[in-house]
């Protein structure tokens, strides 16, 4: 599964158009990206080229079912969402944050000084929190 982050400027159609140029793979456009199948070398090459289009907003993972598998076909099962769709939908929303973190990669937060917090400083923090409540 090739999944686009919701903040990507690409569309599933753009990914499908690019996938059509690859030899040795099958693909299917979905609402969140595309599905790709084929020999390992062909799929890895396709994933690398697709990811190069928007490296920080294109993600992929393995899917448990092949393209066209009747066990998850909505028409055969009587409608409703496919198994795993709700989880994928939730994961896709998190990708926006992952993309943002990848954009900021290399900007490490300042290290805090380790040690005990002094009582006076703790009282000050508590009082400021109480005052803002």
Q: Kindly state the average pLDDT of the residues 76-91.
A: 81
Check whether 74 has a pLDDT greater than 80.
no
What one-character-per-residue DSSP string does 31-67 give? Answer: SSEEEEEE-HHHHHHHHHHHHTTSTTTEEE---SS-T
Choose the weakest-confidence range: 10-14, 38-42, 117-121.
117-121
Q: Kindly state the average pLDDT of the residues 82-99.
A: 86
Among 15, 28, 38, residue whose Cα is nearest residue 67: 28
Which DSSP category does 9 fall into?
A: S
Cβ-based neighbours of 21, under 8 Å, separated by 6 or more: none
Check whether 109 has a pLDDT greater than 70.
no
Across 22-43, b (16+ Cβ under 10 Å) vs e yields: beebebebbebbbbbebeeebb
pLDDT at 106: 67
């Amino acid at each position: 599964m090739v999944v686009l982050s919701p903040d990507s400027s690409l569309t599933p159609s753009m990914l499908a158009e690019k996938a059509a140029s690859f030899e040795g793979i099958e693909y299917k456009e979905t609402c969140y990206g595309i599905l790709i199948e084929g020999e390992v070398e062909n799929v890895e090459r396709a994933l690398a080229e697709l990811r190069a289009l928007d490296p920080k907003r294109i993600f992929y993972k393995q899917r448990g079912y092949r393209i066209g598998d009747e066990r998850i076909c909505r028409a055969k099962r009587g409608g409703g969402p496919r198994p795993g769709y709700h989880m994928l939908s939730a994961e896709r929303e998190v990708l926006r944050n992952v993309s943002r973190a990848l954009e900021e990669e290399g900007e490490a937060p300042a290290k805090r000084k380790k040690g005990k917090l002094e009582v006076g400083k703790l009282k000050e923090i508590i009082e400021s929190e109480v005052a803002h409540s």
